[in-house]
Amino acid sequence: MTTTPPALTPDHALARLPELTVVDVRTPGEYASGHIPGAHNIPLDALRRALPALRAAHGELVLVCASGARAENARAVLAEHGIPAATITGGTRGWAERGHALHRPQGTSRTTRTTWAMERQVRLTAGALVLAGLGLGQLHPAWLLLSAGVAGGLVFSALTDTCGMAAVLAKFPHNRPRATDLDATLAALGSARD
């Protein structure tokens, strides 16, 4: 049995893809916009519910997100529960930059067409809040605190490599999996692969 290092390069992961169980911890909308072929979608905030299925998963477990930060957070959660896992350096972005194909489901569902990557959703929300604070600050100076609060949150986010705004946005309906989708993913993790 091959032991998976804590992080795989996209090329190394591609070469070993048939023997790996890849779990994409992005939101369902991000996952639908393009994911590593064969990856299972379990959003980061649903990870604890998935622990039994992940413990029973076949093959070596590899976690991926857009750039790697959420996958590393997921790896830490799994390590706390005694479940070894690796990540893919650079996430799906790094995978695509190396020229590896992303699976993009066909269909015309609203989620597939309209959900942006979480980073883009955060940029839009932060920018809109800053502009709102500046605009409303013309009416009353206290509104400028909104812009200052967002700026402080962005600095904190950069220093801690966490994002409270992303955690809030992940709870919006367009970023949430339907219960049946998550149940199907968990069942697929438990099915035998040879």
Q: Give the per-residue pLDDT at 177.
A: 61
Consecutive H or E run containing 62? strand 60-64
Q: Give the per-residue pLDDT at 194.
A: 40
Phi (first) and psi of residue 13, to 5 degrees? -65, -40
Higher per-residue confidence, 116 vs 82: 82
Number of alpha carbons in the 13 Å side-chain half-sphere of residue 126: 19
Q: Give the per-residue pLDDT at 188.
A: 81
Q: Give the per-residue pLDDT at 121.
A: 87
